[in-house]
A and B are shown apart, each in its own frame.
Chain A
Amino acid sequence: MGCGMGKSQQLKKCDRAIRAALLIQRWYRQYVARLEMRRRCTWNIFQSIEYAGEQDQIKLYNFFGFLMDHFTPASSERSLISHIFRENEICRDIEWERYFCYKGIEVPDSYTGPHLTFPMTFCGVSKLVEAFKHKHNGLPSSEKPYVFNGDFVDRGKNSLEILLILFGFLLVYPNDVHLNRGNHEDHIVNLRYGFTKEVLGKYRVHGKKILKLLQKIFSWLPLATVIDHKVLIVHGGISDMTDLDTIAKLDRHKYVSALRPPKLTHHAVNGNKTQTMNSRNGEADRPAEGRRRVCSLTHHGSPPARRHDFPRRSLHYPPVSSQLNWPVEEELKRRRRLAGFDQSYGELKRSDSDSDPESGETTETDENEWKQWTCCGVTQCPRMAAFPNEVRGGGCYWGPDVTEKVLGRHNLQLLIRSHECKQEGYEFCHDRRVLTIFSASNYYEVGSNRGAYIRMGHDLIPHFAQYQASRTSRELTLRQSVGWTERSALQALRGQLFAHKSDLISAFQEFDPNNTGTISLSHWASATEKVLNLGLPWRVLRPQLVSGSQYGMVNYQQWIRELSITEPKLEISDNSILETMYKNHSNLETIFRIIDTDHSGSISVEEFHQTWKLLSSHLKTEISDKAITDLAHSIDFNKDGSIDINEFMEAFRLIEV
């Protein structure tokens, strides 16, 4: 060991060195472990908030259902509601071709990008790829077939470029490039998550046209891909009913959006509707919790009795048909319309709209089809629905027994799916029969996770390539990347806390009968979890969320005050409105963007007012007309009678603490 001294002195000195080394190693490992714990907690925060966001979308869907159920011809919001459920402007085939013909689009001389010609060639796509300055690692070809498993857009600023590259290669190698539809290939989801905004921002003139066309394209994307009859690939997942034959046969393009509420047709105004409404109102009390929440990765079989079909109010045929006095043919006609099956498409045969002798069977098949479609994961699936003990994220939403059943049914050996972010980019579960693959690195924040893709040869054994985009994130130290991600997660978490401010205060006060303003750390943690229901380790997070707690006590009043710092622009005296608005701001944004048909970026004060009234009625909050008017006017920042949607969203950003 290089200590050149007398023997006993030698040993002593080396001994000391070893002990010193041990000490330093022990200290350092402790430090790294604490960072790892923080990273783990940060991850949990992001996942919980993401799942809460999905729950939010269910709320939106319920709201649309509420609108349908409570619509009356006499209501003052009638025009707004009709507007929300307006007809799809689906052109006839000839018009469609003309409308979307690219040849008529003038390209200015100042354009310096690549010019593409059709039929698309490899040359053309390479030009595209080059133009996007994309570092590629093995482009698709007949020797190198690719399957892309959905969610190509939303989040990130280059969704359109990615789509173009994928579509380009699909055109060049139609038999070797396969695109599965994900839940983000859905125009309503795009309204919420940013893709719509991106397209309209990049293409001021043709943006709307592009979006319309994409809507159609998305609906035609296949739901699943099977490799060599052995490996099944879908975006979301499966259920015990998943049947590949059914999926192969269903007309997937008629399912335009998972969240798209049905149109109100003429029938809506006549007497029959009332009966439907009545029978449906009976179901309104039961929470339409969305799809069945299955067990996490436990070793015992699938659970619960609690199964709610999703969605309850649109394409899904009401379960208790005998309660309805709704003529069957009418129902069929209506449902076909709901599915976007417009007669002018020429796809609906006249005879179908008359009495259908096989009505019972058809509707059952349709119901089955809808379930199959949703199960492929094209809809949002609440992971944290009604099962309080299984509230934590992570884990598939069907049990290992379902995997076995479905794989067995079709003699498959592996299910590959995506939809959930994984820290290492991939993760096996269900005894290595299910593989989750997630290719977007730094998904939540720079440094949050690696991305991965699978390489598979003839042996069908998956090999993984992992990466992390952005040089910066690779060069960050562990501490820096954890810190960075953590800040972002905590900011998001503060938003959630703020949204539940009054519920939190009530919960805290239950532990503080003498109104001292402080409670124990323990009580703080359990109250917060009870209100937010995010399944987070609050005690572990406490140091980052609550500054200066003393002797294991938390001054909750002060803490809540600190959370309540919003952008000064919103001067609203009524705190309950502010809170309700904050809680629902994502859904409000989606609704506003639906209302804003010409994508101008703003809606009228009147439309805002009416939307708000409807929403508060649905949420059963008591808000006076005057309060809403005041609110509308205060959000109309430049006082021109219209509300800029982006400004509205900006107003809800909590100041970063």
Chain B
Amino acid sequence: MAENRQSAEPVVSDVQKKIKAAFEAFDYESNNTVDVREIGTIINSLGCFPTQADIHDFIAKVEEAHTGYVHLDKFLPAMTKVLLEHKFPPIPEDVLLQAFEVLDKEKKGYLEPEELTKYMTQEGDPFTQEEMDEMLTAFTDHETNVIYYKDLISQLTIDPDM
């Protein structure tokens, strides 16, 4: 995010505009509220990498008392803080590679779909069946039916100038 850093002011306002733009994409009724279930997506789309726990904590702070909605008034300051403090920083490629290598116990250089499924659906913040199906469809090599994780990581990098 190589913004022109002449003074702190313009940076904050730019950040806020970015946040508002992302928020608006999910503001279906044009009334500055979004469904709480979209918050994770919005935070992620702003270049952050929160864990599920991070998302839940964030929601707890901004949700309108059990309505299922979040208003921009609360979202904006909270999200601005997150971005300015780099609270949920991206995962470096080499760290990600190491993670895959941990799962690839036999050091094959690839993962079998069943292996990956086991970890993704049983450990950590488990995937839903839908998430798992989607990941397998996207990642599995069509010919060899395995997952070449090294290639994937380089293919799916972030857009640097979000």
Q: CA A391 – CA B124 in complex, angstroms?
A: 42
Contact across chains for A392 and B27 when beta carbons are under 8 A apart: yes
Contact across chains for B119 and A21 when beta carbons are under 8 A apart: yes
Within the complex, which residue of B14, B127, B134 is in contact with A25, where a contact is CB–CB below 8 Å?
A: B127
Within the complex, which residue of A19, A24, A296 is in contact with B29, where a contact is CB–CB below 8 Å?
A: A296
Q: CA A41 – CA B17 in complex, angstroms?
A: 16
Residues of B within 8 A of A22 (CB): 51, 123-125
Asked if A40 lies at the interface with its beta carbon under 8 angstroms from chain B, I say yes
Residues of B within 8 A of A24 (CB): 96, 99-100, 103, 119-120
Task: Please judge, given known A-B contacts A16-B102, A30-B49, whether A21 and B29 are in contact too, CB under 8 Å.
Answer: no
Residues of B within 8 A of A40 (CB): 25-26
Contact across chains for B40 and A537 when beta carbons are under 8 A apart: no
Residues of B within 8 A of A540 (CB): 21-22, 25, 45
Q: CA A19 – CA B131 in complex, angstroms?
A: 19
Residues of A within 8 A of B2 (CB): 551-552
Q: How large is the interface on B (under 10, 10 to 19, 20 to 34, 35 or more residues)?
A: 35 or more
Asked if A479 lies at the interface with its beta carbon under 8 angstroms from chain B, I say yes
The chain A residue with its CB closest to the CB of B51 is A26
Q: CA A18 – CA B96 in complex, angstroms?
A: 13
Q: Shortest distance in angstroms between A41's beta carbon and chain B's nearest beta carbon?
A: 6
Contact across chains for A37 and B25 when beta carbons are under 8 A apart: yes
The chain B residue with its CB closest to the CB of A521 is B14
Asked if A288 lies at the interface with its beta carbon under 8 angstroms from chain B, I say no
Residues of A within 8 A of B156 (CB): 31
The chain A residue with its CB closest to the CB of B50 is A26
Contact across chains for A20 and B102 when beta carbons are under 8 A apart: yes
Task: Please judge, given known A-B contacts A18-B123, A539-B21, A552-B2, whether A296 and B31 are in contact too, CB under 8 Å.
Answer: yes
Q: CA A20 – CA B119 in complex, angstroms?
A: 9
Task: Please judge, given known A-B contacts A477-B137, A478-B138, A479-B138, whether A522 and B44 are in contact too, CB under 8 Å.
Answer: no
Task: Please judge, given known A-B contacts A16-B102, A21-B120, A25-B120, whether A37 and B45 are in contact too, CB under 8 Å.
Answer: yes
Asked if B24 lies at the interface with its beta carbon under 8 angstroms from chain A, I say yes
Q: Shortest distance in angstroms between A572's beta carbon and chain B's nearest beta carbon?
A: 36
Contact across chains for B124 and A25 when beta carbons are under 8 A apart: yes
Asked if B161 lies at the interface with its beta carbon under 8 angstroms from chain A, I say yes
Task: Please judge, given known A-B contacts A17-B102, A22-B51, A29-B40, whether A395 and B120 are in contact too, CB under 8 Å.
Answer: no
The residue in A27, A298, A479 that gathers the most chain B C-beta atoms within 10 A of its C-beta is A27
Q: CA A31 – CA B124 in complex, angstroms?
A: 18
The residue in B3, B28, B95, B96 that gathers the most chain A C-beta atoms within 10 A of its C-beta is B28
Asked if A596 lies at the interface with its beta carbon under 8 angstroms from chain B, I say no
Instruction: Encode B33-50 as 1/0 by CB contact (under 8 A) with A.
Output: 000000011111100111
Interface residues of chain B, those whose CB is within 8 Å of chain A, are 2-4, 13-14, 17-18, 21-22, 24-31, 40-45, 48-51, 91, 95-96, 98-100, 102-103, 119-120, 123-127, 131, 134-135, 137-138, 156, 158-159, 161-162
Lowest 4 A-B CB distances belong to which pairs? Answer: A33-B44, A37-B45, A22-B124, A20-B99
